[in-house]
Structure 1
């Protein structure tokens, strides 16, 4: 008697299980769309104040409308976009008064961080020196975007070296708006005194290395205040009230 054959049938997922298996892929696509859209807003690649349809953004970024819509909802919660019915997605500009208030907070907290670093005996200042060296090399080859990136590394590293997690968290929450306006002004007009900024960084490092908290704090405050004045001058020169 011949043995009966057992024919395996392909396992078919139920509708519920199929939907569950699709969720991780959808979440991943939405996350990618969110990150790329957010990056383009922060880098001012999308013009502040402009309106874009979901379909336009989808073609631009290479995503379907669903992840673009979900990404926009997240960004709306962060205040970076506004979803306007029948008009699309509004890239919310930053008002100059808002960024002035943000700078006032940053200048206070960052100068405090510089003083804290100066009091720490075990702190390693080499990463700050390395950031300055990277800025110098970028300036020598005329790459001001790389110069600005290294400048931000200097400031973010200094905050991290303070060892104050709460201070670090508050500063980083403000970082994106400052970066956004800075990038916008950088595209309008080159930084007026890049060499002076590097030297001011070295002066701050020297004060921290000597353990002079008051001097480090004062130098940092003066450095940031000058930077804000330079940006304000550019905005006023071109009659820009929002960035």
Structure 2
């Protein structure tokens, strides 16, 4: 698979994307295809400007065209692909929107923290405390820390008790912290991130809405600056 307007190799396919035979209902297959393709685009397995054609994707992914068509439609709504004049779709270059995407996340999750401070329960606070403890215990396991970090932020969003907001946050979530980014953290930066999580939980426990929002936005702003720095480094290679 090339980095420009090439189609997926329908003979070999992509080992990371191939699906096994699946007898589930079409809706379930469509969801599975959507998640795999979305992740492949966000993580760069399907580079910007790659051309995707429905029939070729169906062959490469061992699926029928109906769920592939639905998955492509959802990716179009997500603005991860765009239709081409002569058929098929093209993967959008989201790297040019990275700063904007991070700023949207700061606003959304800051809002979630403000609402969570008003609505969070003692049991939910215990869950957040436990996740911080898990992070300390997993300092040398990057995969585990990525998962724990995601669970931490998801727990705050759930505590906001807003389904609409939760859906909006989820639509941006996959763009953020991953194994590659976390591996670039120095030990000091990792400890700082954990300390910030602890400060956020303290603000939630005090039901201090303004402080909870401020701390979450500050925490995520640092992630945005790091992501842009890594992007600039990659451009120089």
The verdict on a shared fold, with TM-score over 0.5 as the criterion, is yes
C-alpha displacement at 1:152, in angstroms? 1.6
Range with greater deviation from structure 2 (102-111 or 151-160): 102-111
C-alpha displacement at 1:88, in angstroms? 4.4
Root-mean-square deviation over aligned CA pairs: 3.2
C-alpha displacement at 1:109, in angstroms? 3.5
Aligned residue number for residue 184 of structure 2 = 190
Higher Cα Rg, which structure: 1
Aligned residue number for residue 75 of structure 1 = 75
Aligned residue number for residue 118 of structure 1 = 117
Q: Does 1:180 align with 2:178?
A: no
Q: Quick check: 1:123–1:161 contact (8 Å CA) kept in 2?
A: no
Aligned residue number for residue 204 of structure 1 = 200
Aligned residue number for residue 104 of structure 2 = 105
Q: Quick check: 2:120–2:160 contact (8 Å CA) kept in 1?
A: no
Query: 1:88 & 1:32 partners in 2: Cα distance?
Result: 20
Question: Structure 1 residues 39 and 95 mapped into 2: Cα distance closer, same or farther (>3 Å)?
Answer: closer
Partner secondary structure for residue 107 of structure 1: helix
Aligned residue number for residue 163 of structure 1 = 161
Range with greater deviation from structure 2 (154-163 or 80-89): 80-89
C-alpha displacement at 1:222, in angstroms? 1.3
Q: How many residues align?
A: 210
Partner secondary structure for residue 82 of structure 1: strand
C-alpha displacement at 1:119, in angstroms? 3.8
C-alpha displacement at 1:61, in angstroms? 2.3
Aligned residue number for residue 148 of structure 1 = 146
Question: Structure 1 residues 195 and 58 mapped into 2: Cα distance closer, same or farther (>3 Å)?
Answer: farther
Query: 1:226 & 1:105 partners in 2: Cα distance?
Result: 14
Q: Does 1:63 align with 2:63?
A: yes
Q: Quick check: 1:185–1:234 contact (8 Å CA) kept in 2?
A: no
List runs of 5+ in structure 1 lacking aligned partners. 1-23
1:44-65 Cα shifts (integer Å, max 9, x gaps): 4322332344455335422245
TM-score normalised by structure 1 residue count: 0.69
Partner secondary structure for residue 175 of structure 2: helix
Q: Quick check: 1:36–1:61 contact (8 Å CA) kept in 2?
A: no
Aligned residue number for residue 33 of structure 1 = 33
TM-score normalised by structure 2 residue count: 0.70
Aligned residue number for residue 93 of structure 2 = 93
1:152-205 Cα shifts (integer Å, max 9, x gaps): 2111210211223443343334x24xx235449639x63453332122101211
Higher relative contact order (CA 8 A, sep 6+): 1
List runs of 5+ in structure 2 lacking aligned partners. 1-23
